[in-house]
Chain A
Amino acid sequence: MADKVICITSGKGGVGKSTVTANVATALAMKGYKVVAIDADIGLRNLDLVLGLENRIVYDIVHVVEGVVPPEKALVKDKKTKNLYLLPAAQTKDKSAVKPEDLVKIVEELRDKFDFIFIDSPAGIEEGFKTAVTPADTIIVVANPEMASIRDADRVVGLCEAMQKPEPKLVINRLDPKKVARGDMLDVEDVLQVLSLDLLGVVPEDKNMVSYINRGEPAVLFEDSIAGKELRNIAERLLGKEIPIPKWTYSEGFLEKLKRLFGSE
């Protein structure tokens, strides 16, 4: 499989890079693929929290770079999902502790042993971002439907182009159909008008997401989670299956129509 090393990035912080990484990696592991998620956000690690593995970390990526342990030894095995491994970031060092060539070396060592390697990129466009993108075969850009996020994502796409990477794929995260219907949020078309990328998926806003993250259980583990369902679809699309992207439209209920008619919120 050619597209085995996937980097997830966004430019802007807080749009859901780590959440998407954790969920898509978990979804693929649930399907039986051997998956490793590498946290490249050195100094501000949180992929371990989203996966619920924070209390099992002994060695991290900086130990691997320094040669203290081989990569396999630093991997943390997920207790809930078989086949899922995490290579955690160091919390005590900063981005300069891992150079692009170090990450390329680690990825090359892991490449034969895994079906998929996910790299969770840090926010920003400095060296940490470059380190995370360098080894990647495929890049996924996560953007929220808001101008600030879109502009940052656009910048990142430009930088990836300059690094001669293939055109990134787009995941729109935290779309709220209710707000779109009211005209308070940009819709998918508006985002695509600026970014003009291949759309890999649209993840709707899910009010339970915060609690999933706090509990350290990815949303894809829950059948009833609306965001989880779409994240599972994204994993399927990465495998090459053609699943149509649902139209996230919202129609007002009878009561809401009535309320609007009488001008009360």
Chain B
Amino acid sequence: MDFKLRGTNVIAIELLTDSSNFDLEKIKQFIAEKKQLLKGSRFILSVEDRTLMADEVEELLKFFKTVNELTFCGFKTNVKENRELCIKLGVPCDLSNMEIEKIKERADNEEIKFIKKTLRSGDKITSTGDVIIMGDVNPGAEVEAGGNVYVMGNLMGFVRAGIGKKECEVRALYFQAPILEVCGKQVPFERNESYVNFKIKVKDGKIKVEHKTGRN
């Protein structure tokens, strides 16, 4: 099994693994084979989209101690739990900047619409990317966005965010809408439900709602 390496000898060399190819024995074998190439370098193990177990981390640490050719500097990951585990075990662990890169990539080819008025009933705004509304979204108004939707006012109309995407978020200062659609999933609300500082996020197929207590 081949793993991808990136970086330079001067700064550090990173070994990239993810949920599909993470295998302790294979990683060990790969490093043992590339010992000469990695000689004298600082080494980082990057683990994307996979939650590590405590014994896996300990076994890896034990293995790196036996390899004298390289200096093991720590882990890099995009999973919060991994970072927490590493901190607990006293191993350095960085959150990878892949998330940030992803957002940058999106912003370049998608439009960002900036609307400086209140959307009244019957108004409809569409955008391939993000929408920022400096005003209210009144009942009967519609917003359709390929990306995220931010409402700097009252959100009382219909918002469809993250069309065709797996991740998106909708935020509003005040929220009292009957239904929302995020990444193709419908989220209904009760008639008198209202929230302050409302935030709904879809990540890894899970919908997460955050808010402060409602006005009513």
Contact = CB atoms under 8 A, between A and B. Distances in A.
Interface of A: 147, 150-152, 154-155, 157-159, 161, 193-194, 196
B49 interface: no
Nearest to A159: B122
A157 B140 CA distance: 13
Contacts of B122: 154-155, 158-159
A157 B139 contact: no
Interface residues of B, number: 11
A220 to B, nearest CB: 31
The 6 closest A-B pairs by CB, nearest first: A158-B120, A154-B121, A155-B121, A155-B122, A154-B120, A151-B140
B187 to A, nearest CB: 21
Nearest to A152: B121
Interface of B: 118, 120-123, 136, 138-140, 154, 156
**Which of A147, A161, A194, A196 has the most chain B CB atoms inside 10 A of its CB?**
A194
A196 B118 contact: yes
A158 B154 contact: no
A261 B118 CA distance: 44
Given A150-B139, A155-B122, A158-B123, 19 more contacts: A147-B139, A151-B138, A151-B139, A154-B120, A154-B121, A154-B122, A154-B139, A154-B140, A155-B120, A157-B120, A158-B120, A158-B121, A158-B122, A159-B122, A193-B154, A194-B139, A194-B154, A194-B156, A196-B136
A159 B120 CA distance: 9
A151 B120 CA distance: 9
A154 to B, nearest CB: 4
A261 B154 CA distance: 37
A152 B122 CA distance: 9
A155 B118 contact: no
A194 B121 CA distance: 10
